[in-house]
Amino acid sequence: MPTAALVKQVLSLATFVILLVSLGATGTSLGLLQANLPIQSAYGKACFFFINYSQAISLIESETPDFKFNMPTCKLSIASATIATICLVLLTAIELISVLYQINVKTLIANIIQVGFFVGSILFLFITMVVVSAGWGKTCATFKNITKAQDYGPSFKFKCTEQLQKQTDSPYRPNGAEFIGAAVCAGVGTLFTIVALGLFIVKQMKSKDDYKPLNVQNE
Residue ranges per structural domain of the chain:
4-206
Q: Which residues of 33-56 are buried (b: 16+ CB within 10 A; e: fewer)?
A: beebbbbeeebeebbbbbbeeebb
Q: Does 215 have pLDDT greater than 50?
A: no
pLDDT, position 93: 92
pLDDT, position 47: 80
The 10s digit of each residue's pLDDT in 12-28 is 889 999 999 999 999 99
pLDDT, position 63: 66
Q: Rounded mean pLDDT of 38-43?
A: 56
Residue 162 has phi, psi (to 5 degrees) of: -135, 175
Q: Does 216 have pLDDT greater than 80?
A: no
Nearest partner of 173 among 163, 161, 160, judged by Cα: 163
CA dihedral angle for residue 211, residue 7, residue 109, residue 94, rounded to 10 degrees: 80
pLDDT, position 134: 95
Q: How many residues does the chain have?
A: 219
DSSP state of 167: T
Q: Rounded mean pLDDT of 40-67?
A: 73
Split at pLDDT 50, 70, 90, the class of 217 is very low
Which one has a higher pLDDT value, 32 or 56? 32
Q: Would the pTM count as exceeding 0.85? A: no
| pLDDT > 90 in the chain, percent | 41
Q: Does 129 have pLDDT greater than 90?
A: yes
| pLDDT > 70 in the chain, percent | 76
The 10s digit of each residue's pLDDT in 82-120 is 999 999 999 999 888 888 876 666 677 778 889 999 999
At 105 the three-state DSSP class reads coil
Q: Does 75 have pLDDT greater than 80?
A: yes
Mean pLDDT (the chain, rounded): 81
The 10s digit of each residue's pLDDT in 187-214 is 999 999 999 999 988 888 876 554 444 4
Q: Rounded mean pLDDT of 67-89?
A: 89
pLDDT, position 181: 95
pLDDT, position 168: 52
Query: Please, are residues 98 and 12 in contact by the beta-carbon 8 Å criterion?
Result: yes
Q: Rounded mean pLDDT of 72-77?
A: 89
